[in-house]
Chain A
Amino acid sequence: AQKVTQAQTEISVVEKEDVTLDCVYETRDTTYYLFWYKQPPSGELVFLIRRNSFDEQNEISGRYSWNFQKSTSSFNFTITASQVVDSAVYFCALTAGQGAQKLVFGQGTRLTINP
């Protein structure tokens, strides 16, 4: 069985602060994929990144960066110099196994960026 845990239910920071969202996953499969999605108040889930289990290289995209560590089963997400538009609920998700398609989501972290 797969499981994703996002221990931080809510985070509130002041604009321009850096913030890290934690994600811990569980799976027995050796082939798996990790994702981050953003859900603004409109409700639509916006795809941010996919990482496969064979690629532990960290990734940076503008103010966003992701740290994947298989040793600790973690896939953390950092926003640098946060902005009010970053306010949303962020979900970490996992899919595993050959031809995997079922996404298992964490409970989400509600991020509020205050001006």
Chain B
Amino acid sequence: DAGVTQSPTHLIKTRGQHVTLRCSPISGHKSVSWYQQVLGQGPQFIFQYYEKEERGRGNFPDRFSARQFPNYSSELNVNALLLGDSALYLCASSLLYEQYFGPGTRLTVT
């Protein structure tokens, strides 16, 4: 079975731009979560979606938004990019309590 997939793998953006990151969960998993991992730190929770509804939101500004589609894939959108948004963005899907992570999207903001 295919694992969690994320696209793109790498992305370079300029300050002030907008970015959309995509995630496809493991087949049968209805929950998707997004995490931001800054270099040298543990991942920080951004959002969780279940059955297309937001179930949790971390301490991130409104520039960050997400949605989940009927096929359970998800998008993370970040507006007005700042240098501090440079990080590895991880998507995880889950059936119950174990969360399985994708390879991540490395975003660099210049």
Contact = CB atoms under 8 A, between A and B. Distances in A.
Interface of A: 4, 33, 35, 37, 42-47, 50, 52, 91, 93, 95, 99-108
Given A102-B33, A103-B35, A47 B41 contact: no
B42 A101 contact: no
B98 A44 contact: no
Contacts, number: 61
Contact of A43 (B58, B99, B106): B106
Interface range, B side: 20 to 34
A106 B44 CA distance: 10
Contacts of B92: 45, 103
A102 B48 contact: yes
B49 to A, nearest CB: 10
Given A44-B101, A47-B99, A101-B31, 13 more contacts: A43-B103, A45-B101, A50-B98, A52-B97, A99-B55, A100-B97, A101-B48, A101-B97, A101-B99, A102-B58, A103-B35, A103-B43, A105-B42
